[in-house]
Every structure is written in structure tokens, then in C-alpha cells.
Amino acid sequence: MSPDQDLSAFSLFDLFRMEAEAQARALTDGLLALERGAGPGALEPLMRAAHSIKGAAAIVGLDPAVQLAHAMEDALLALSHQQVVPSGRIDALLAGVDLLLGLAQVDEAQAQDWLAANETAIEHAIGAIARGETPGAAPVPGTAPAAPLPPAPPAPADTADELLALASQSRLQARQLQPWIDSLHRYKRSQAGMLALIEQLHEAAAAHGDPRLLALSSAALTQAQPLKGVLLRHIAEAEQYERNASAVSTRLVDEVLALRMCHFGDGTRAFARLVRDLARSLGKEARLEITGDTTLVDRTVLPRIENALNQVLRNALDHGLELPDERMAAGKPPEGVIRIDARHRGGMLVISIADDGRGVDPERIRAAAVRHQRATPAIAVALSDAELMEFLFLPGFSLKESANELSGRGVGLDVVHELAVALNGSLRAQSQPGQGFGLVLTLPLTQSIVRALIVEVQGEPYALPIARVERVLKLPQAALSTLGGNQFFELDGQHVGVVAAAQVLALGAPEPADELALVVIGTGRERYALAVDAILGEQSLTAQPLEPVFGTLRDIAAGALLDDGAPVLILDLPSLLVSIGKLLSEGALQRVEQPRGNKAGVRRILVVDDSLTVREMERKLLAARGYHVDVALDGMDGWNMLRSADYDLLVSDIDMPRMDGIELVTLVRADPRLQRMPVMIVSYKDRPEDRARGLQAGADYYLAKGSFHDSALLDAVSDLIGPPWR
């Protein structure tokens, strides 16, 4: 608690609870340090802590707590005369701390009932502490109550939210002064031009010699000259006011945000004890190291982070860390180490959790993916290590073939992944078999301020939380390929599907464009590039919930105001990914097209073949020559693509499922828009009657795959439609 905090509103029992919680934390941390070999100097603060609890308990008449704290104080004094601290004595003292902390969790009306219910446990603990024995009923690992956040927050949550909204509006109002100041500067330039003209007029009047004209021009010049200084003074005053208003409003926002923040360590104090007790129950040795415990975290988010980290620690102890004999056989110290680090980086809260255990073998994930029917054997073999790590975040996915009380029931890292998704953050796993496993959780510093990428879709601005945006890039339309009717491009060796943001948001058909502005979102197989009209830049937005009258809006998370005061909707990216998946499953995804009638640019060819090898070979040959090539899996797929886009040439096989090449060519020749498009058939069938059948259907060229070679295809294409560029 703060030393200058007003405590007059608290009862004596409330003060005891606050004292007991603070001193219990100090006792737990100190006893764990003592167990790890801390020097004799560590005992004095522990004795003071026990003595403080004893005095506080005496004041409020809690005699059993007084006796327990007194026994702890005596035991700590006895330890000062011993060279080695027995582990049984530490266990007994920690059991006493748990009881005192349990008493501090109840209110005054329940205190005596709690003491009566725990009378036997307290007597047993006092005896065990005096004898230095491990208590027979050891506390269940991880169930020791965690110390809550400070009992009297500076302001109620709703009030803080309202203050933050008002503070953000004041900052926006301060920024509105800048356009007005810019207009004053433009007026200053106009004024300077006018003064120059008046001076020229005065010089002309003097040269003309007309006394009346000279007097008038002199009077105009005399009255105009002071205006320049007045305007400059007003501009300087306005600029100073704008700087002061911006500084005050920014400081106000920062101060309100500080009301919502607390230290990362406030939610992790119980973790060191949890790791110690749980490791011992598993027959392992482990310690926890935490850095960055003073890093500021949104107090509304910290409990959720605490729950997720609790699960990660349990996984690390059960799955990751080896038994002492195994560690020594592997050349490691018998005691395993789990490290948690919290820090601010790039405007985000980055929490890393790593252990030095056995790590995760990608082959075990591959086998588990098949066993859990999350992937077929053929797909599992083709997955990279990074893609395999994504399986660890799936609900119900476990590497253990049998369950125990800690793990194997499918409740694990999916909890952490759900937290990252819910808070517009990200989660990344990394492992080195035999060396350890780690997670990196990246979250916005606060859920009230969202660092967002502003894009334009159909003339309206939308905001995407920057933590969920992987990359922003621009590509020419010609760089896109098509497979199965869906457009994609290659990024870092992987196919990324292109989706029109206008369609996903139900804003109408996407606007045709020669160059695409793309925002890459999602991970793994749910990774897409949103095609937007324009990228407007990044801004920090104060997220404000939508009015209840609107209900739940699909794909929308919240609202906000841009720096210029215009309203903007913040997109809910997890919901957006679900909407994209729905469009894909329904086959309703629209293509992002070039402007109709624009004949400048690259010639486009559609290759239709059910053979992956032939299809890909033809695509690469033609693309290498400079043509834009889309591919279709069969005649039906090709027909759908021909109706939705403009092509200069169709290259088709004959034998294909659903619709063969002859049927496709017949449909093309019967369509008024497509009937003049050149068509080439490339087929294994090389009999005269096969050629006649293809040409009779309307093909312009027939090329046999049996005598196929690179130049034959390229020469035929060149003869039919000319070079790649129009």
C-alpha cells in the first residue's frame, strides 16, 4: 500500500488483512530465497514480517493467529543458529503462511468461524513448525490463495473509462487547432502578397506625380503595415496555446491510463511458490525466475494473463522439465529453471515464458496431429516445424496419450492462444528439442488505447489492431495467380490468399485496381491478404464500446475517433477470419479485378488441367515468359473463372472431371463475350480424330502432350495472342 494512502475509512480488521497479505508475500518470497541458499541476512526481514503479523493479529483479538505467527518467529530465530536450513522446516513455515493468508481472505464477520473450522490445522501447523517437520497435510500445489490487487483502487472502472473517453476527446479538440493555425499561415502569405502590391501601388503613384493618388496610397500603406505584426503575434499565440493544450490533454490521457495500470509482479507473486510445490509433487526440482515484475500492465487484463501463465507453468512442469536423474544424464543440473520476462517493446507488452527442459519434438506433434485426426498423414508429412507448432494451440490437442491431474485432457496452450486472440495480441511458440520450450505472448499495453492501422474501404476508414497485422504491401494486379477460383500470391515461400475487404464487410463489389494495397492478417492456414482501397497510416485510438442499441455487429469490435475527429470502426480480426472462411467454404469469394476495358498491361492466360504437374509446368513456362497466368482444376472451375474475368487465351486439357475440355470449348464458342477468345487444346490424345474433334468444337490450336516441348507451347501462344505485353 502507498505510505500516504488515506486509511481512515478502513476498520482495524481491514488493516490487519492488508498487513497480513503484504507480510505473507514477503514471508513466501523470503522463505523460497532461503531454501535456494540465501545468506543469513535473509532471516531478519522474515522475523520482522512474522512479528508484524503477530502484533496486528493481537490488536484485533485473533489469538490463534498470534500463536501461529509467534511459532513462526521462534522457528526463524532458531534457523539463524543453523548452517543448513532443513527442507522440512521451510515446508512447515510455508504451511503456516498459507493459513495466515487464508485468514486474511475472509471478512470480519466470518473470521471466528474460519478460525473454528481451521483450529486443528493451526494446531498441527504450530507443532510442525516447532519440530521442523514437513506437515502431514501439505497444501495442494497452486491452491495457496494469491494476494489480490490493492484493496482500494484509485477510481472505479466505469469512472476511469469515462474519464479516458473525455481525456481523449480533449486531445482531439486540441489537435483541431492545427488546421486553423495552418489557415492563419496561408492568410499570412496572402497578406504579404497584398502588402507588396500596396507598396508597388505607392511607388507607381509617386512616379506619376498625382498628389491625391499619392496621398491615398501613402495612407493605405501606413494602415496596412501594422497588420503584419498583429497577425504574426496572433499566430505565435495560437501556436503556443496549441502546444500547451496538446501537452495538457496528452498528460491527462496518460494519467487516466495510469489509473488502469498496475505492476506485472502484482499478478505473479504466487507463481514461485506454485512452481516449487508442484515440482516437488512430481518428484522434480524447479525454480522460477521472473524479470520485469515492475512492468506496467492494464489491471483489467492482469487477472486473465495470470490464469494463462498459471496453465503455462503447469504444462512446463509436467511436459517440459525432466526428472533430476534424466537431467543429469543429459548433462544438465538437476534443478530445472522456468523464466518469465515482461517488458514493453514497440508500444506492446511482450511476455516470454521459457523452460530449459526437454523441448517439443516436431515429430511427436506430427504423430499427435494424425492421432487426433487434425491432419491426414499426407498433409502432416508436408507441414513445416512452424506450422506444426500451431497445433499446440488447438483446443483438445495434447501430446500425452493418457491424462493425469495436471495435463493430457486437452486443456493447455489453447487457453493462452484464446487470450491472445481475445486481446488483439499474438502468441508464438519456439522449441529446441533437448534444450527447452518457449512462448512469446504479445499484447497491447492497454485495452483502452489501440494502436491501429487505418485503411480505406469503399471510401470509409476502418481500423485494424496493429498487433494482428503481419505485413502491409502493394502488389500489381499481374502478380496475383488463381487456383480453384481463388486468388493468391507467394510470400516467404507460402501461398497467401487475397480477399477483398469490401466483400467481407458486405460493402459491395470490390473496386477494380491495377495496383493492390494488401494487409496480411492471420497465421498458418488462416492467413489472408485483405485488399483495401488505400493504406492511411497508423494511429493510437481510444476504443469506445458501441451503443447497445446496435447489438452485436459482425466483424466489428469497437468504435473510436480519428485524429481529425472523424468516427472509425475497429475491426474484430478473429471474427473477420471466420467470415473469410465462411465465404471460402461457400465458394462465394469474389475476385479482385483489373479495371474493365483497360487494355494496357500484361496479357492474361487461363490454364485448365486436372493434372497438377502439367498445370504447374505450363503456368511456370508462360509466367517466366511474362504472361499473367491463372489456373483452374477442371472444366467447371475454368468455366466459372472465364465468366468472372477477362482473358486473352484459354489453354485447356480434354479429359477432366465434371466438365471436359470439349464441353468447355463448346460453351466458350456459344458465349457472345467469349466466342472471339483464342483457345488452345493441350492433350495426350494425338489421334487425327481427336484433333478433328477439338478443332471442330472451336479450338484454334491443338498441341499433343506426347510431343510437347517448351518452345512449342511458347511459340503457339505467341502465334495466337502475340507477346506478353499489349
Give just the sign of the alpha carbon dihedral 280, 283, 289, 293: negative
- Which residue reads 483502452 in cell numbers? 448
- Are 700 and 678 within 8 A, CB to CB? yes
Question: How far apart (Å, rounded) are the C-alpha atoms in residues 137 and 373?
Answer: 42
pLDDT at 137: 44
- Are 533 and 444 within 8 A, CB to CB? no
- How many C-beta atoms surround the C-beta of residue 575 within 10 A? 15
pLDDT at 148: 39
pLDDT at 151: 40
Q: Which residues fall within 8 angstroms of residue 144, CB to CB, at 6 or more apart?
A: 97, 98, 101, 270, 273, 274, 277
- Are 605 and 630 within 8 A, CB to CB? yes
Residue 708: name the closest of 604, 611, 602 by CA: 611
- Are 557 and 545 within 8 A, CB to CB? no
DSSP 658: S
pLDDT at 400: 64
Helix (H) or strand (E) holding 521: strand 515-523
Helix segments in 147-176, DSSP class H: 157-175
pLDDT at 134: 62
pLDDT at 594: 60
pLDDT at 289: 93
pLDDT at 77: 85
**Mutual orientation of helices 87-104 and 108-117 as an angle, nearest 10°?**
140
- Counting Cβ atoms within 10 Å, is residue 83 exposed (0-12), middle (13-18) or buried (19+)? exposed
Q: Mean pLDDT across the stretch 441-455?
A: 83
- Are 12 and 60 within 8 A, CB to CB? yes
Q: Which residue has the higher pLDDT, 177 or 404?
A: 177
Question: How far apart (Å, rounded) are the C-alpha atoms in residues 172 and 541?
Answer: 11
Q: Which residues fall within 8 angstroms of residue 469, CB to CB, at 6 or more apart?
A: 453, 519, 520, 521
Bridge partner residues of 450 (DSSP):
541
- As a whole-number percent, the residues of the chain with pLDDT over 90 amount to 14
- Counting Cβ atoms within 10 Å, is residue 205 exposed (0-12), middle (13-18) or buried (19+)? buried
Task: Give the SS3 label for residue 544.
Answer: strand
- In the 3-class helix/strand/coil scheme, how is 546-592 assigned residue by residue? CCHHHCCCCCEEEEEECCCCCEEEEECHHHHHHHHHHHHHHCCCCCC
Q: Give 259's Cβ-side CA count (13 Å radius).
A: 20
Taking only the tens place, the pLDDT of each residue in 228-274 is: 888 888 888 888 888 888 788 778 777 777 777 888 988 888 898 88
- Are 661 and 698 within 8 A, CB to CB? no
Q: Mean pLDDT across the stretch 325-338?
A: 94
Strand order across the 348-355 sheet: 285-291, 335-345, 348-355, 436-444, 426-432
Give just the sign of the alpha carbon dihedral 325, 326, 329, 331: negative
Fold of 288-447: Heat Shock Protein 90 (3.30.565)
Question: How far apart (Å, rounded) are the C-alpha atoms in residues 544 and 161?
Answer: 9
- Which residue reads 471460402 in cell numbers? 584
Question: How far apart (Å, rounded) are the C-alpha atoms in residues 163 and 161?
Answer: 5
pLDDT at 135: 60
pLDDT at 273: 87
CATH of domain 1-139: 1.20.120.160
Q: Mean pLDDT across the stretch 676-702?
A: 84
Please determine, for residue 697, whether its predicted confidence score (pLDDT) is greater than 80: yes
pLDDT at 83: 67
Q: Mean pLDDT across the stretch 305-321?
A: 88
Fold of 449-586: OB fold (Dihydrolipoamide Acetyltransferase, E2P) (2.40.50)
Provide the mean pLDDT of the chain. 82
31-35, 81-85, 515-519: least confident range: 81-85
pLDDT at 5: 52
- Are 507 and 461 within 8 A, CB to CB? no
Q: Is 24 left (phi over 0), alpha (psi -120 to 50) or beta?
A: alpha
Fold of 604-721: Rossmann fold (3.40.50)
Please determine, for residue 362, whether its predicted confidence score (pLDDT) is greater than 60: yes
Q: Mean pLDDT across the stretch 605-614?
A: 85
Question: How far apart (Å, rounded) are the C-alpha atoms in residues 671 and 664?
Answer: 11
If you write DSSP's letter for every residue of 177-224 in order, what string do you get?
HHHHHHHHHHHHHHHHHHHHHHHHHHHHHHHHT-HHHHHHHHHHHHHH
Please determine, for residue 327, whether its predicted confidence score (pLDDT) is greater than 90: yes
pLDDT at 149: 36
pLDDT at 600: 52
- Counting Cβ atoms within 10 Å, is residue 107 exposed (0-12), middle (13-18) or buried (19+)? exposed
Could you tell me the pTM of the whole model? Answer: 0.58
475, three cell numbers: 502488389
- Are 447 and 423 within 8 A, CB to CB? yes
Question: How far apart (Å, rounded) are the C-alpha atoms in residues 630 and 616?
Answer: 10
Residue type, 303: P
Q: Mean pLDDT across the stretch 293-308?
A: 87
Helix (H) or strand (E) holding 665: helix 661-670
Domain boundaries, the chain: 1-139, 158-259, 288-447, 449-586, 604-721
pLDDT at 484: 67
Helix (H) or strand (E) holding 631: strand 628-632
- Which residue reads 506485472 in cell numbers? 264
Residue type, 7: L
> What's the pLDDT band for 340 if we cut at 50, 70, 90?
very high
pLDDT at 259: 76
Taking only the tens place, the pLDDT of each residue in 75-87 is: 888 887 776 677 7
> What's the pLDDT band for 547 if we cut at 50, 70, 90?
low
- Are 120 and 99 within 8 A, CB to CB? no
67-71, 525-529, 597-601: least confident range: 597-601
Please determine, for residue 643, whether its predicted confidence score (pLDDT) is greater than 60: yes
Please determine, for residue 417, whether its predicted confidence score (pLDDT) is greater than 80: yes
